Amino acid sequence: MLAEKKRLNRLGNQLFFTGPTMIAFTIALLIPFVYGFYLTLMKMATPVSPPAFSGFENYRAAFSDSQFWDSLWLTVKYTGATIVFVNAIGFALAYLVTMGIRSQNFFRTALFTPNLIGGLVLGYIWQFIFVQSLPAVGENLGIELLRLGWLGDEHLAFWALVIVTIWQSAGYMMIIFIAGLISVPKDIIEASTIDGANAWQRLTKMTLPLMVPSFVVTVFLTLKNAFIVYDINFSLTEGGPYNSTLMISMHIVQKAFMETNYGVGQSEAIILFAIVAIVTGVQVYFSKKMEVEA
Amino acid sequence: MKKTFVSILIALLTVALAACGGSKSNDAAESSAAPSHSASASASASPSSSPEQDKVEIIMTNGKGEIASQWEQAAKDFMAANPNITVKAYSQAVGDTLSILDKLTASGETVTIAMMGPDQLLNKHKDFGIDLSNEKWNGDTSYGIRDESGKVVGFPFAIEGFGLVYNKKVVEKAVGGSFDPFSINTRDKLKELLDKMKASGVQYPVAYQTEAWSVSNHYSTQFLNQAADPNTVIAQLKEGKLDLASNAVWNGYYDTMDLLASKEYNKYGERPLGKYYDDAHLSVGKGESAILFNGNWAFDSLKAVAGDSFGFIPVPVDNNPDNPLNNKIQAGPTQSLVINNKATPAQQEAAKKFLNWIVYDQAGQDFLVNKSQIISAFKNNPNKVTNPLGAAIADAIAQDKTLPFTNNYIYGDDWFKLIGPEVQKYIVKKVSRADLAKFIQDYYTSKK
């Protein structure tokens, strides 16, 4: 009797604290996800027509959509580029602003600020920079690479996307790295200094291994963000020139809402979800194994 | 102590949740033009309205987000004049990919009057509308949108047109005096004009922006006007009977495009693709360049810079000054109002009343042209838009110098998404003209 009451109490407590989040999660994510999956099994000729069961027809169409695979491959390349650069630059910045330089708190804030600007706004700002500012700079200083707008060349437009992503998220990752760097115990660094390790050895042999938990988080975040990028893609290049920078999310949106092919678009979204879930799951599982104790 | 704290927390949460739920109904009330407000307005407008008259409620959707407030006001004015009709007016947000019509329909509402582009009306929503052939307003316009069987199914709400937008000040300086845009009726004359402008000190007379919808849906469909009815050309394409690579008109438009996008005249000639829409309009607005290819809506981007005046030059296709294609600009309905065949007869009658209100009521005419700055398709509308590009189109309509709006004869999303990138590839010479011709032909034969 007493034990039962205790259990009820505990359940009540748990519900009290997790309930609101669970409700929000269910309404905003779980139900739409399940309903979305249900829709992929249905055929809808127009948004107005009632759904009719069609089995895995939509998935077959999604797998044979060549633009889907082109976009996916492009997204993989973009993911690779952003993971490397965002984390490397984020870590470098974090290292710099924890070295004890003057006004480092100001730099921390300044470097984090781009993350507070929404992706859409950021894209339009950088569109202006790439189309108007940089060509003007290139023209006046005679820098051939900058003289023509980057967004008109398929390779440069891709790197434009990567640069804007770095600018947006490196500061955010920097904050996570700062937390990691601060929690590296001072005593082992001191001990290694006494043992004669130079700065480079201290960084690679002591600090980095202890920072693995931070990297697990940042790599996960950059990986996930890169796979589902939409806002910057939409506002900076809109997939152009000639669809050469059309990332996977944007392709799905176009498939579903512009071609009004909801079933196929939703199936592609589910496939993307599965890919992202597997890739990030594998990443977290294996990088967790690299964690060490101080 | 602890208990009170918990109960306060619970109360707070409840309020928060209730607020979440409540705000939604507030939104709905707001966007539906406040029925309570309208009720009081109608009561004051005609206190003698008989109570036995049946109340009708209709929903109308507006696809042009930029006239959202005018649309709502029109609904209020119309309700004031027709107290037994309640109008719920919805507008699509600018840039929203999902149409407001689809949204409302998906949530179980029956939209009575829907605004949609003619290509949507003739393709995606071809089973949506009722026959409007016997409406009185057909006598005042020739722009009613007809379906395959020739019935009028769309009320022409907005007329728009395109051509070569030019900055009058720059062009007049170059030619030294007044300039008649319709005097440019061959490609050689256009080239001559561009050379004159270069001589007058304009380094790049053209600022050719290459958005997919512009180079594909607008520019690349112009060849359809080689027959009096663009549908016959499309039928030939579908049957595979038209060879574009050897078609003079089709090639002619790309010869002109090559001229416009060339390194010699085009500001972006060295790298023609890129996001140049804003920059191109700024350049022409400021007078640094003089010509770009776009429609009357370009004025929104141009006027932000200077009070200069603008007009349209026809897009020349060849060097024959008597070719009508060289002497006219394209204009046609780009938005239509359609009445839902699933609405009740009473709702349909109310909707027809609204269409007549736009055409024949002074308030309706004022709403369309003066307030919303839309070029009217109706001859009886005495108002004129202030936009000089719109006025140029209205003048061309009056002088019978317009060609059918070819964009209405294609499936817009396909031309934007499939053919658009191919045209862009052609502009940077990544594919040849023959490749492009084949791509368009294959698209049509696969559509059969």
Of A48, A149, A243, the CB nearest to B274: A149
Task: Note the pLDDT of residue B306.
Answer: 58
- CB distance A47–B97 less than 8 Å? no
Do B414 and B348 lie in a common domain? no
Domain extent at residue B434: 161-331+399-447
Structure tokens at A31: 């139900």
Q: Does residue A158 surpass a pLDDT of 60? A: yes
Structure tokens at A48: 């107005």
Range A144-149, long-range pairs (CB < 8 A, 24+ positions): A148/B270, A148/B271, A148/B274, A149/B268, A149/B271, A149/B274, A149/B275, A149/B276
Do B242 and B178 lie in a common domain? yes
CA distance B220 to chain A (A): 15
- Chain B CA closest to residue A262: B98
Domain count, chain B: 2
Q: Does residue B25 surpass a pLDDT of 60? A: no
Q: Does residue B22 surpass a pLDDT of 80? A: no
Local structure of B45: helix, strand or coil = helix
Is residue B166 within 8 Å of residue B294, measured between CB atoms?
no
- Chain A CA closest to residue B268: A148
- Chain A CA closest to residue B414: A259
Do B149 and B191 lie in a common domain? no
CATH of the domain at A114: 1.10.3720.10
Cα distance between residue B286 and residue B170, in whole Å? 10
Do B126 and B102 lie in a common domain? yes
CB pairs under 8 A between A and B: 75
Task: Note the pLDDT of residue B42.
Answer: 40
Of A47, A240, A253, the CB nearest to B105: A47
Do A198 and A273 lie in a common domain? yes
Local structure of B313: helix, strand or coil = strand
Q: Does residue B51 surpass a pLDDT of 50? A: no
Do A10 and A65 lie in a common domain? no
B48 pLDDT band (50/70/90 cuts)?
very low
Q: Does residue B15 surpass a pLDDT of 60? A: no
Mean pLDDT of chain B: 82
For A176-205, how does the pLDDT look when each residue is reduced to its tens digit (9 = 90+)? 999 998 888 888 888 888 988 888 888 888
Do A171 and A280 lie in a common domain? yes
Q: Does residue B192 lie within any of the structural domains? A: yes
A242 touches chain B (CB under 8 A): yes
Query: How many other β-carbons are positioned within 10 Å of the β-carbon of residue A113?
Result: 10
HEC profile of chain A = CHHHHHHHHHHHHHHHHHHHHHHHHHHHHHHHHHHHHHHHCEECCCCCCCCEECCCHHHHHHHCCHHHHHHHHHHHHHHHHHHHHHHHHHHHHHHHCCCCCCCHHHHHHHHHHHHHCCHHHHHHHHHHHHHHHHHHHHHHHCCHHHHCCHHHCHHHHHHHHHHHHHHHHHHHHHHHHHHHHHCCCHHHHHHHHHCCCCHHHHHHHHHHHHCHHHHHHHHHHHHHHHHCCCHHHHHHHCCCCCCCCCCHHHHHHHHHHHCCCHHHHHHHHHHHHHHHHHHHHHHHHHHHHCCCCC
Do A246 and A111 lie in a common domain? yes
Strands B85-91 and B113-116: unpaired
- List Cβ neighbours of A188 (8 Å cut-off, separation of 6 or more): A206, A210, A294
Task: Note the pLDDT of residue A76.
Answer: 92
Mean pLDDT of A60-85: 90
Do B139 and B230 lie in a common domain? no
- Chain A CA closest to residue B6: A16
Cα distance between residue A86 and residue A170, in whole Å? 5
Last residue of some domain: B389, B421, B436? B389
Do A104 and A135 lie in a common domain? yes
Do B165 and B292 lie in a common domain? yes
Do A108 and A15 lie in a common domain? no
B422 touches chain A (CB under 8 A): yes
Task: Note the pLDDT of residue B142.
Answer: 82
Domain extent at residue A111: 58-289
CATH of the domain at B419: 3.40.190.10
Q: Does residue B58 lie within any of the structural domains? A: yes
Listed by number, the residues of chain A in 127-156 with a beta carbon closer than 8 Å to a beta carbon of chain B are: 127-128, 130-132, 148-153
Do A122 and A2 lie in a common domain? no
A291 pLDDT band (50/70/90 cuts)?
confident
Mean pLDDT of B240-262: 90
Listed by number, the residues of chain B in 206-225 with a beta carbon closer than 8 Å to a beta carbon of chain A are: 212
Q: Does residue A114 surpass a pLDDT of 90? A: no
B124 touches chain A (CB under 8 A): yes
- CB distance B276–A131 less than 8 Å? yes
CA distance B182 to chain A (A): 33
The radius of gyration computed from the CA coordinates of chain A, to the nearest angstrom, equals 24
Q: Does residue A73 surpass a pLDDT of 80? A: yes
Q: Does residue A96 lie within any of the structural domains? A: yes
Do A12 and A155 lie in a common domain? no
Instruction: Report which residue type is found at B45.
Output: A
Do A27 and A87 lie in a common domain? no
Do A20 and A110 lie in a common domain? no
Do B173 and B137 lie in a common domain? no
The H or E element that residue B404 is part of is none
Mean pLDDT of A221-225: 90
Last residue of some domain: B389, B417, B436? B389
Of B98, B125, B421, the CB nearest to A257: B98
Instruction: Report which residue type is found at A110.
Output: A
- CB distance B97–A257 less than 8 Å? yes
Do B408 and B289 lie in a common domain? yes
Buried-state track B27-61, b at ≥16 Cβ within 10 A, e below 16: eeeeebbeeeebeeebeeeeeeeeeeeeebebbbb
For A260-279, how does the pLDDT look when each residue is reduced to its tens digit (9 = 90+)? 778 888 899 999 999 989 98
Do B322 and B346 lie in a common domain? no
B172 touches chain A (CB under 8 A): no
Do B189 and B213 lie in a common domain? yes
DSSP B139: G
- CB distance B417–A258 less than 8 Å? yes
Structure tokens at B61: 């959707």
Task: Note the pLDDT of residue B112.
Answer: 92
CA distance B208 to chain A (A): 13
B424 touches chain A (CB under 8 A): yes
Q: Does residue B16 lie within any of the structural domains? A: no
Task: Note the pLDDT of residue A47.
Answer: 59
Sign of the dihedral defined by the CA atoms of residues A66, A67, A72, A78, in that order: positive
Q: Does residue A107 lie within any of the structural domains? A: yes
Q: Does residue A250 lie within any of the structural domains? A: yes
Cα distance between residue A285 and residue B9, in whole Å? 38
CA distance A246 to chain B (A): 11
Task: Note the pLDDT of residue B97.
Answer: 61
Interface test with B, best of A48, A245, A260 (most B CBs within 10 A): A48
Is residue B384 within 8 Å of residue B149, measured between CB atoms?
no
Q: Does residue A53 lie within any of the structural domains? A: no
My answer on whether omega of the bond before A241 falls inside 30° of 0, hence cis, is yes
Q: Which of B318, B319, B356 is nearest to B337 (CA)?
A: B356
Q: Does residue A212 surpass a pLDDT of 80? A: yes
Q: Does residue B2 lie within any of the structural domains? A: no
**pTM for this structure?**
0.77
For B192-235, how does the pLDDT look when each residue is reduced to its tens digit (9 = 90+)? 999 988 888 888 999 998 888 889 999 999 998 888 888 888 88
Query: How many other β-carbons are positioned within 10 Å of the β-carbon of residue B309?
Result: 14
Mean pLDDT of B119-142: 85
Residues found in chain B: 448
- CB distance A153–B97 less than 8 Å? no
Q: Does residue B425 lie within any of the structural domains? A: yes
Do B99 and B129 lie in a common domain? yes
Q: Does residue A23 surpass a pLDDT of 90? A: yes
Do B381 and B244 lie in a common domain? no
Task: Note the pLDDT of residue A175.
Answer: 92
Do A150 and A26 lie in a common domain? no
Task: Note the pLDDT of residue A183.
Answer: 86
Q: Does residue A46 lie within any of the structural domains? A: no
Q: Does residue A246 lie within any of the structural domains? A: yes
Task: Note the pLDDT of residue A75.
Answer: 92
Mean pLDDT of A94-110: 86
Q: Does residue B198 lie within any of the structural domains? A: yes
Q: Does residue A191 lie within any of the structural domains? A: yes
Listed by number, the residues of chain B in 231-290 with a beta carbon closer than 8 Å to a beta carbon of chain A are: 268, 270-276, 278-279
How open is the CA angle B67-B70-B72, to the nearest 5 degrees? 110
Task: Note the pLDDT of residue B28.
Answer: 38
Q: Does residue A51 lie within any of the structural domains? A: no
Task: Note the pLDDT of residue A24.
Answer: 93
Do A138 and A23 lie in a common domain? no
Structure tokens at B26: 């507030």
Is residue B310 within 8 Å of residue B143, measured between CB atoms?
no
B98 touches chain A (CB under 8 A): yes
- CB distance A132–B279 less than 8 Å? yes
Is residue B38 within 8 Å of residue B76, measured between CB atoms?
yes
Cα distance between residue B258 and residue B436, in whole Å? 14
B102 touches chain A (CB under 8 A): yes
Residues of B in contact with A47 (CB under 8 A): 102, 105-106
- Chain A CA closest to residue B99: A257
Cα distance between residue B84 and residue B192, in whole Å? 62
For B339-385, how does the pLDDT look when each residue is reduced to its tens digit (9 = 90+)? 998 899 999 999 999 999 999 998 999 988 888 888 888 888 888 88
Domain count, chain A: 2
Of B273, B413, B417, the CB nearest to A152: B273
Cα distance between residue B194 and residue B276, in whole Å? 20
- Chain A CA closest to residue B415: A259
Q: Does residue B270 lie within any of the structural domains? A: yes
Listed by number, the residues of chain A in 260-279 with a beta carbon closer than 8 Å to a beta carbon of chain B are: 260
B117 touches chain A (CB under 8 A): no
In this structure, the dihedral spanned by the alpha carbons of residues A68, A72, A73 and A77, taken in order and rounded to 10 degrees, is 150
Of A47, A48, A258, the CB nearest to B413: A258
B167 touches chain A (CB under 8 A): no
- Chain B CA closest to residue A244: B421
